[in-house]
């Protein structure tokens, strides 16, 4: 197997007739999926999503793919192809379109509807083209064929891209649910046809590659929800992703069966379900929906809230309910259902919300104590079926953390794919398909791009480190006035601390050491205020570490008299 290496060189020029694949996100992480295919000087982008921040990235709203690799080649992009409408596949499109607004975007009807609603908020009018399963599209040097796949959102598509270098099949996110709510099963017949023609590179979803067997059918969630609704004493609150149309459909059916009204809570939930219902992807029983503002007229034992916040997002509806900061107040006898899986990195946030809801007296039902969620990603058994049907010449696992990619690669080898034809890559690693063989040829810079409020890409890792230090260790400011002619400290040092348990008076014992260090530095020839500030920082820092076992942020200020 080919493994990425941190010291991989920049890639050489792409050989004539070769196809280059560069993932700018989604490999080594669950999120910000984006792959760039290059052939004959032209580029094709498959997906363009966001990654949601973890606790060690304070203040960050979103994390984008690093567009720097294609920044000076925007005119070479033939199109953006979207496999489905989840945020980790479409959320970064507005930021890419800021660089060139007229890039054509291809996707299914629901996918583009979700995207267009998002772009409207960014005041971008996109050039969109609706495609469906079995459609074929010629985009310059790229021939595209779309294949229906089943996922946790309707209208998901895999895409086969054919060039002179061969055929690449990108699954997007998929599973093989044999009893889907919308009747759209993953089209294994189309996979078989592609396999007969020859798949030169199979880019395949890895998220559940470690999980043996097959994913449970979505339809089996219905009886579980029905049972929970039957036992609920008062209100029911269900939290899910705002794009999980199938899960909302199950909740609407359960509510209708038990004579309950459903109120949608959360801006994205209201927006997305409105789109899904308008386009016919969501079947809303007559009289079931009620406006959130009118819920006061509905008895508690006849009410269901469908909201966002299943991942513990601080500003989402469920977190605000747990904190008592929402119009919906949770109390004894209420039932809360978290109808989604835990995205890696969100565990602490989700458990914090569960504890808060439990403290308020609610019964909390989640995937750890009831079958209220099934995954949208193929497990090992399903992946093995795909490998055996397709018999791909080369395999490149995508969408997943490193452990998922490695597990998927092992499955490919077990089905007979030669180990040297299974390419393990991470973000930024360059893979070339030349003369029928895929191999790692180099790497391009590919870091995290942080969205923080209105700023995009301005927050650096050093600034995040400062934020973590402020949050974990506190802040100390030191001020002194120094006469650089005589070397005497005329005022200070004045030391103020914030975010620390100790009183400022504790710093009195370090004053003589700071004065001595400053005067000694001036006597040694240091007259620059920056040098003197570093002297103060060093003395204070060493004392804090030795005396208080703390490493706060230290901001020294020296004024020259």
Q: How many CB atoms lie within 10 A of CB 454?
A: 7
CA distance 220 to 242: 21
| 458-488 pLDDT, tens digit each | 677 777 776 666 666 777 888 888 887 777 8
Per-residue confidence band for 154, with pLDDT thresholds at 50, 70 and 90:
very high
pLDDT of residue 301: 92
CB burial of residue 102 (10 Å; 0-12, 13-18, 19+):
exposed
- pLDDT mean over 47-55: 82
375 is in an annotated binding site: yes
**Residue 54 pLDDT exceeds 80:** no
**The pLDDT of residue 451:** 76
Evaluate whether 151 touches 218 at the Cβ level (below 8 Å): no
Positions of E strands within 284-398: 303-307, 335-338, 363-365, 395-398
Cis geometry, peptide bond prior to residue 74 (ω within 30 degrees of 0): no
373 assigned to a ligand binding site: yes
Q: Give residue 3's pLDDT.
A: 46
pTM for the full predicted model? 0.82
3-state secondary structure of 306: strand
* Helical (H) or strand (E) element with 351: helix 347-359
56 is in an annotated binding site: no
Binned at pLDDT 50, 70 and 90, residue 2 comes out as very low
Average pLDDT over residues 106-135: 95
**What's the mean pLDDT when you consider all of the chain?**
88
Share of the chain above pLDDT 70, in %: 93
Helix (H) or strand (E) holding 207: none
Q: Which residue segments constitute the domains of the chain, with CATH numbers given?
A: 19-213+375-452 (3.60.15.10), 219-365 (3.40.50.10710), 461-560 (3.10.20.580)
Q: Is 377 annotated as a binding residue?
A: yes
Average pLDDT over residues 388-398: 97
Lowest mean pLDDT among 20-29, 270-279, 295-304, 505-514: 505-514
Tokens 């909201």 belong to residue: 307
What average pLDDT does range 38-60 have in this prediction? 85
pLDDT at site 550: 77
Q: Is the pLDDT score of 501 beyond 80? A: no
**DSSP for residue 340:** S
The pLDDT score that the predictor gives to residue 559 is: 85
DSSP state of 140: T
- Rounded to an integer, the average pLDDT of 196-215 is 95
The pLDDT of residue 1 is 47
Q: Which of 54-58, 72-76, 308-312, 388-392 is least confident?
A: 54-58
Give the least confident one: 252-256, 462-466, 545-549: 462-466
Residue 406 DSSP SS3: helix
222 assigned ligand-binding residue: no
pLDDT at 469: 67
Q: 328-383 pLDDT, tens per residue? A: 888 899 999 988 766 666 667 788 888 888 989 999 888 777 777 888 899 999 99
550 to each of 467, 477, 485, 512, 554, how far by Cα in Å? 15, 14, 35, 20, 11
CA distances from 140 to 40, 137, 181, 199 (A): 10, 10, 37, 20
Q: How far apart are CA 102 and CA 121, in angstroms?
A: 17
Beta bridge partners of 395: 202, 422
């Amino acid at each position: 197997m080919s493994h990425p290496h941190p010291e991989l060189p920049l890639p050489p020029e792409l050989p004539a007739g070769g196809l280059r694949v560069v993932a700018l996100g989604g490999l080594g992480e669950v999120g910000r999926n984006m792959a760039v295919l290059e052939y004959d000087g032209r580029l094709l982008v498959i997906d363009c999503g966001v990654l949601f921040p973890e606790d060690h990235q304070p203040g960050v709203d979103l994390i984008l793919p690093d567009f720097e690799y294609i920044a000076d080649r925007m005119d070479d992009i033939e199109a953006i192809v979207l496999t489905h409408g989840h945020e980790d596949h479409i959320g970064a499109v507005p930021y890419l379109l800021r660089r060139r607004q007229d890039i054509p975007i291809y996707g299914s009807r629901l996918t583009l509807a979700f995207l267009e609603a998002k772009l409207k908020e960014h005041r971008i009018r996109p050039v969109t083209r609706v495609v469906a399963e079995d459609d074929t599209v010629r985009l310059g040097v790229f021939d595209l064929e779309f294949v229906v796949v089943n996922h946790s959102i309707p209208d998901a598509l895999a895409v086969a891209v054919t060039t002179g270098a061969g055929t690449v099949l990108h699954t997007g996110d998929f599973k093989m649910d044999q009893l889907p709510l919308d009747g759209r099963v993953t089209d294994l017949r189309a996979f078989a046809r592609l396999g007969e023609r020859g798949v030169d590179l199979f880019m395949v979803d890895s998220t559940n590659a470690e999980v043996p067997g097959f994913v449970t059918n979505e339809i089996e969630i219905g009886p579980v929800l029905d049972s929970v609704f039957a036992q609920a004493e008062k209100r029911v609150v269900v939290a899910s992703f705002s794009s999980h149309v199938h899960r909302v459909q199950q909740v609407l059916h359960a509510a209708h069966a038990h004579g309950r009204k459903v109120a949608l809570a959360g801006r994205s939930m209201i927006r997305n379900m409105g789109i899904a219902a308008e386009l016919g992807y969501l079947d809303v029983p007559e009289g079931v929906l009620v406006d959130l503002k009118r819920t006061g007229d509905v008895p508690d034992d006849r009410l269901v809230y469908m909201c966002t916040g299943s991942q513990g997002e601080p500003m989402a509806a469920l977190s605000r309910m747990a904190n008592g900061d929402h119009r919906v107040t949770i109390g004894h006898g209420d039932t809360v259902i978290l109808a989604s899986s835990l995205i890696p990195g969100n565990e602490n946030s989700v458990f914090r919300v569960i504890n808060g809801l439990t403290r308020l007296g609610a019964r909390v039902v989640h995937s750890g104590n009831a079958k209220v969620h099934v995954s949208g990603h193929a497990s090992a058994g399903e992946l093995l079926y795909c490998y055996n049907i397709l018999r791909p010449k080369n395999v490149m696992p995508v969408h997943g953390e490193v452990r998922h990619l490695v597990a998927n690669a092992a499955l490919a080898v077990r089905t007979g794919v030669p180990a040297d034809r299974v390419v393990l890559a991470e973000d930024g690693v360059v893979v070339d398909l030349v003369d029928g063989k895929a191999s790692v040829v180099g790497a391009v810079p590919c870091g995290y791009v942080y969205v923080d409020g209105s700023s995009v890409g301005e927050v650096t890792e050093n600034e995040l480190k400062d934020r973590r230090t402020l949050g974990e260790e506190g802040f100390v400011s030191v001020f002194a006035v120094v006469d650089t002619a005589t070397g005497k400290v005329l005022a200070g040092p004045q030391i103020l601390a914030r975010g620390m348990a100790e009183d400022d008076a504790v710093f009195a014992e370090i004053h003589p050491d700071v004065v001595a260090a400053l005067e000694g530095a001036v006597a040694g020839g240091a007259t620059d205020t920056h040098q003197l500030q570093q002297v103060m920082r060093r003395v204070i820092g060493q004392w804090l570490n030795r005396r208080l076992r703390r490493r706060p942020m230290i901001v020294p200020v020296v004024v020259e008299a």
